[in-house]
Structure 1
Amino acid sequence: MPIALLPDRALVTVTGSDATDLLQGVLTCNVATLPEGAARLGALLTPQGKILFDFLISRLPGGFRLDVAAEQAPALAKRLSLYRLRAKAEIAADPTVAVAAAWDGDTTAAEVARAEDTRAPGLGARLYAAEGAFSADAAPDDYHAHRIALAVPEGGRDFGLGDAFPHEALMDQLGGVDFKKGCYVGQEVVSRMQHRGTARTRILAAHYPEGEAAAPGTEITAGGKVMGTTGGTAGDRGLAMVRIDRLGDALAAGEILRAGDLAVALQRPAYAGFAMPEAAGAPAA
């Protein structure tokens, strides 16, 4: 079982008798229904519905842990504190706990907290423990290659925080948005996109048949028109944020897709169910 320490991840904890109600009222995901031992995708949005922070949330005794990009942890804790008001909840970044990812196996170490990553089948689990509790046998890049192979995006790597709507980052496909739980910050915009079907931009799986991937942030073009930009890559695989309508027009016209000077093929992730132009091919395996 590969285990990779993720030094670029950190925890924000929210504990106290009002922790559930506080988070339920501001986050995109449903924390009230979160099972023990599961890590669910969630986000805190701007009032305009764009993703400020994306994270994995799981339960701990008396509250929740939010597994977020390490550089974002202090800002997330501060932002959540603005919504606390009189709620009985303690919010803090916790630098004492290390974060790791495990996949293709199991771990039974008693001192390690394990939360199954529910975003997509095969993604694995998150492990949380004090520094030195893990016996890592894989590198962070190995985990990101695994994640990219499954076409699971991550904020700050595959899309810009503050720029993308949840639908664009596939949060509606990855269990990161609950459309029935009621109000949260940015909820009106997200619900309108869901009910009107106005999400024209999506993250797609990218395959580079020449074996070389384009650098993140490279424009994807066809027939001289820009339709998206590349995200993270691993080997000949990657992710890309693409306008689906423009992709359909390009494929219908028989135009070649390129990321910079490199040919690229784009596919819907295997777990996703949104509509794609037929000529784009089958879902990514």
Structure 2
Amino acid sequence: MSAGYAVLGQRSVVAVTGEDRKAFLQGLVSNDVLRVTPDRAAYALFLTPQGKFLHDFNLVESGAESDAALLLDPETDRRADLLRRLKMYKLRSKIALEDRTEQLRVVVAFGDGALEALGLPAEPGAARAFAGGVAFTDPRLPALGARLFLPADGLAALEAAGLAPREVADYDRLRLSLGIPDGTLDLIPEKSIPLESRMDALNAISWDKGCYMGQELTARTKYRALIKKKLFPVTVDGPAPDTGTPVTLDGKEVGEMRSGRDGAALALLRLEDVQRAAENGLTFQAGPAVLTPREPGWDHTTKG
């Protein structure tokens, strides 16, 4: 796939400014905010106290120290909910919360040579200033390419770098082929468990930082090996199942579909059923469609 870029209208930019910005987020989100700098981005989750998914976003620092901001890219339709929840915990913290959707666009650059065109290494989270904004290698997986927060006139710099305009659907096909979940397309607020969604393998969780919202139950899930289900990339043979369609094996419901496109999708499946199907030549179904799951090559965590 040749290098290109697409504007992600489904993601927006929120800024956290003020001298307490890092300490404030450090106590709330799943990753280590203290390691986020203008040269290093991170991917993080905002969880319920019970350790269930609420929001996911990338984090990067932008601007000189006098006006530095931590920039987040929550889902556009849910950014108001994230801002409301952050304001609940502001208390006396010396921070300000700003919606910068009008000033900055969220852009993805992907395909062969995309990182090189932006002067980025294939290292998760590597970041640099670019065209009045910031560009960084996707902190989840470099194979996804780069993410950028750019002013509207920054798009010209992408084309000058040799990146052609592409459709968001092209990026979505890449994401699904790699088996990467994306926000509420694949995770259910107040229900999905981060480790079932392979968020530990996608660099979303720091295991050696202090407490954060949902930390205790997330750690307990990991260290007690409580995970019985995971998201799997699946090949779909037949009509594309809708999100939420039950997945069956031997006529019994064993999972649920998540997002999909053009024969590739994600499905939440029981680990023991995936193993049983592989050992006995059984097939998963979602409605009339036949599903073939596989382990994503990037998940090197111990299987539940």
Provide the TM-score with structure 1 as the length reference: 0.90
> Structure 2 residue aligned with 1:94, among 77, 95, 100?
100
Question: Which stretch shifts more, 124-133 or 41-50?
Answer: 124-133
Q: 2:177 and 2:283 mapped to 1: Cα distance?
A: 23
> Structure 1 residue aligned with 2:288, among 256, 261, 267?
261
Supply the AA of the counterpart residue of 1:157.
L
> Structure 2 residue aligned with 1:116, among 131, 137, 144?
137
Following superposition, the deviation at residue 142 of structure 1 comes to: 1.1
Q: Say if 1:22 and 1:84, in contact at 8 Å, map to a contact too.
A: yes
> Who is 2:209 aligned against?
181
> Who is 1:23 aligned against?
25
Q: Say if 1:41 and 1:171, in contact at 8 Å, map to a contact too.
A: no
Q: Say if 1:20 and 1:63, in contact at 8 Å, map to a contact too.
A: no
> Structure 1 residue aligned with 2:38, among 36, 49, 62?
36
Q: Secondary structure at the match of 1:197?
A: coil
Q: Say if 1:117 and 1:123, in contact at 8 Å, map to a contact too.
A: yes
> Who is 1:82 aligned against?
88
Residues 72-119 of structure 1 show CA distances to partners (whole Å, capped at 9, x for unaligned) of 111111111111111111112222211110013123763342122120
Q: 2:41 and 2:259 mapped to 1: Cα distance?
A: 22
> Who is 1:203 aligned against?
231
Q: Say if 1:193 and 1:199, in contact at 8 Å, map to a contact too.
A: yes
Q: Secondary structure at the match of 1:264?
A: strand
CA distance 1:28–1:276, shift in 2 (3 Å): closer
Q: 1:7 and 1:211 mapped to 2: Cα distance?
A: 30
Q: 1:32 and 1:134 mapped to 2: Cα distance?
A: 30
CA RMSD of aligned residues (A): 1.9
Q: 1:75 and 1:181 mapped to 2: Cα distance?
A: 26
Q: Say if 1:268 and 1:276, in contact at 8 Å, map to a contact too.
A: no
Q: Say if 1:212 and 1:235, in contact at 8 Å, map to a contact too.
A: no
Supply the AA of the counterpart residue of 1:119.
R
Q: 2:177 and 2:154 mapped to 1: Cα distance?
A: 28
Q: Say if 1:4 and 1:137, in contact at 8 Å, map to a contact too.
A: yes
Q: Give the helix-richer structure, 1 or 2.
A: 2
Q: 2:177 and 2:37 mapped to 1: Cα distance?
A: 27
> Who is 1:280 aligned against?
none
Q: 2:245 and 2:168 mapped to 1: Cα distance?
A: 23
Q: Secondary structure at the match of 1:146?
A: helix
Q: Does 1:247 align with 2:249?
A: no
Following superposition, the deviation at residue 188 of structure 1 comes to: 0.6
Q: 1:151 and 1:37 mapped to 2: Cα distance?
A: 27
CA distance 1:227–1:38, shift in 2 (3 Å): farther
Q: 2:38 and 2:242 mapped to 1: Cα distance?
A: 39
Q: 1:192 and 1:29 mapped to 2: Cα distance?
A: 16
Q: Does 1:68 align with 2:74?
A: yes
Supply the AA of the counterpart residue of 1:85.
L
> Who is 2:118 aligned against?
107
Residues 133-190 of structure 1 show CA distances to partners (whole Å, capped at 9, x for unaligned) of 3156111111111111111101211121221011012111100011110100111100
Q: 1:9 and 1:253 mapped to 2: Cα distance?
A: 42
> Who is 1:224 aligned against?
251
Aligned length: 276
Gap regions ≥5 residues in structure 2: 120-129, 157-163
Q: 1:201 and 1:259 mapped to 2: Cα distance?
A: 17
Q: Secondary structure at the match of 1:147?
A: helix
Question: Which stretch shifts more, 53-62 or 130-139?
Answer: 130-139
> Structure 2 residue aligned with 1:54, among 53, 56, 60?
56
Q: 1:250 and 1:116 mapped to 2: Cα distance?
A: 36
Q: Say if 1:119 and 1:175, in contact at 8 Å, map to a contact too.
A: yes
Q: 1:276 and 1:89 mapped to 2: Cα distance?
A: 40
> Who is 2:261 aligned against?
234
Supply the AA of the counterpart residue of 1:118.
P
Q: Which stretches of structure 1, 4 residues or more, deviate above 3 A after TM superposition?
A: 210-213, 249-254, 274-277
CA distance 1:16–1:85, shift in 2 (3 Å): same
Q: Secondary structure at the match of 1:144?
A: helix
Q: 2:177 and 2:88 mapped to 1: Cα distance?
A: 37
Q: 1:16 and 1:37 mapped to 2: Cα distance?
A: 19
Q: 1:220 and 1:268 mapped to 2: Cα distance?
A: 17
Following superposition, the deviation at residue 253 of structure 1 comes to: 4.3
